[in-house]
Amino acid sequence: MEQMVILTGGRVVDPSVGVDEIRDIGICNGRIVPPETIPDAKREDMSGKVIAPGFIDVHVHLREPGQTHKEDIATGTAAAAAGGFTTVVAMPNTVPAMDTAERVMEFMELVAKKANVRVLPAGAITMGRQGEIATNIRELVQAGCPVVSDDGSTPQRHGLMRSIMQAAAEAGVPVVDHCEDVSLSKPGVLHDGEVAKKLGLPGQPRSAEEVIVARDLILAKETGCHIHLQHLSSAGSIEMIRRAKHDGVKVTAEATPHHLFLTDEACLKFGTNAKMAPPLREECDRQALIEALKDGTIDMIATDHAPHTEEEKSQGWEKAPFGIVGLESAVPLCLTHLYHAGLLDLNRLVALFTTGPARLLDSFCSKIGQSLGNLAVGSTGGVTVLDLETVHAIDSRSFKSKSRNCPYDGMRCKGQVVGIY
């Protein structure tokens, strides 16, 4: 049965073609169509709302299989839909890890039964994500992986990472990397600065991230691999990426709302709900990230949605896991602290959630006849609808996610997600 709707009277913002105007959008069977081709469709009034391409989050932990006490495919994708995301990329740090084609296909069978939005799987780059034996990247891509990653860790042996990048380049798929040299980061639990000293806790220096960023950029230049650098936290990393892009290295990068809007001072207020990997750093780093959003050094915003139970997060700084939930708070926070704060215009902010992440996935999506991140006729990426003006408070008790590990509870925001199509 055909599903047809026309969204009328909304402000359409599509950075892929520079559109920002009042117009109608037609949707039929999951594709954008000219409204005049579906004259009998249901009409929904979007006056006063923003209609954007479906938002994409390239960094999400759905925790299934193996950790469904934290999250599962149904609850994680319900949280994504509530947060305005029509497509998410699921990280491979499941139990077992998504390190073979068979495991990827088993995961996608679960997705077909449970998911509320489009889910694309990231395949692991080493077996068991142990950083020792490379996976068969070509088989993972054939099984449906648009990217490969050991998210949460990275191979520490540079020769292994080089061979992984060579294989990924041959397979035409980006390597997505969590930049952390564990010989520098361990046993740190937050940024190596004054807050760590005040709390009497071991810190992680910026160099733990920057050493791997430097390595990855060198190897990407040498191998021709597209390297995508996750959840950047350091001003030094940003400067290296800026130079590498100028030199023609095939690199993209993401920032998270927590690194954009919080510093390590949040650890004093929120405790382990501000324990992140990489850690929240200092104001100079936060400002560098924002400048990188403005000048294009950072290509996209991703949530790194990392659900944990209250019991796990209550174990204290040394034992509590890293990470926070982010799918349902990211867009209101960005509208408030980037758009309404006058740091980014709406076109650029929408691009960070649409055209930026879509470019990371374009090669794969074009092979399977999918078009994400735009509202062109034929696009299958969906639609995200925004209300720019409503003032509200983030309420973690209303989250669709199973987990509540969020430092933003009660924070006042201006702007929210109305829904997705």
304 in active site: yes
Please say whether the beta carbons of 301 and 230 come within 8 A: no
How many beta carbons lie within 10 A of that of residue 30, not counting itself? 12
Angle between helices 207-223 and 158-171 (to 10 degrees): 50
> Tokens representing 70?
């934290």
> Half-sphere exposure of residue 357, counting CA atoms within 13 Å on the CB side?
30
391 contacts 318 by C-beta, under 8 angstroms: no
Alpha helices in 271-403 (DSSP H): 283-295, 310-313, 330-334, 346-353, 355-367
Report CA-CA distances (Å) from 129 to 65, 156, 162, 304, 419. 15, 12, 16, 18, 36
128: closest CA among 179, 102, 93?
Answer: 93
| Tokens encoding 55 | 């938002």
Burial of residue 297 (number of CB atoms within 10 Å: 0-12, 13-18, 19+):
buried
Query: Cα separation of 136 and 160, whole Å?
Result: 13
Q: Using CA atoms in the order 5, 9, 12, 17, what is the torsion angle rounded to 10 degrees? A: 90
In angstroms, the Cα distances linking 351 to 244, 345, 356, 361 are: 22, 10, 6, 14
The four Cα atoms 39, 45, 47, 48 give a dihedral, to 10 degrees, of -140
**Residue of 304, 345, 395, 409 marked active site:** 304
Q: Report helix, strand or coil for 364.
A: helix
Grouping H, G, I as helix, E, B as strand and the rest as coil, residue 167 is helix
Q: Known catalytic residues? A: 304
